[in-house]
């Protein structure tokens, strides 16, 4: 009996003040969306530091060694592709 009375009072309260509760919920949603936009849209876009590009320095001896190996492997591949293989099927 007491439980039904409390539930009835809650229903009456929400029926009487439903416009104000709707407005509060709408404003809460707007504040939440604004916070999410500010956190993930505005701050990363405008407060990030500018990227500093440094010059890349390459060891010429290492580069030449790598290029020699590359050309050697290319020659081997060209020889393999030039060969005519018998069709096994």
Q: Please tell me the distance from the alpha carbon of residue 50 to that of residue 71, in angstroms, as a whole number.
A: 40
Domain coverage including residue 43 = 2-82
Between residues 67 and 85, which one has the greater pLDDT?
67
Residue 27 lies in a domain: yes
Residue 25 vs residues 4, 7, 22, 37, 48: alpha-carbon distances, Å: 26, 21, 5, 18, 33
Residue 31 lies in a domain: yes
Count up the domains in the chain and report the number.
1
Residue 87 lies in a domain: no
Query: Which of 7-16, 39-48, 58-67, 80-89 holds the top average pLDDT?
Result: 58-67
- pLDDT score at 21: 86
Residue 89 lies in a domain: no
């Amino acid at each position: 009996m007491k439980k039904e009375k409390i539930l009835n009072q809650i229903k009456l309260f929400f029926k009487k003040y439903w416009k104000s509760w709707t407005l509060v919920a709408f404003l809460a949603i707007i504040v939440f969306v604004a916070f999410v936009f500010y956190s993930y849209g505005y701050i990363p876009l405008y407060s990030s530091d500018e990227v500093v590009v440094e010059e890349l320095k390459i060891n010429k001896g290492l580069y030449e060694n790598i290029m020699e190996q590359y050309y050697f492997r290319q020659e081997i591949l060209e020889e393999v592709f030039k060969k005519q293989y018998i069709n096994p099927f």
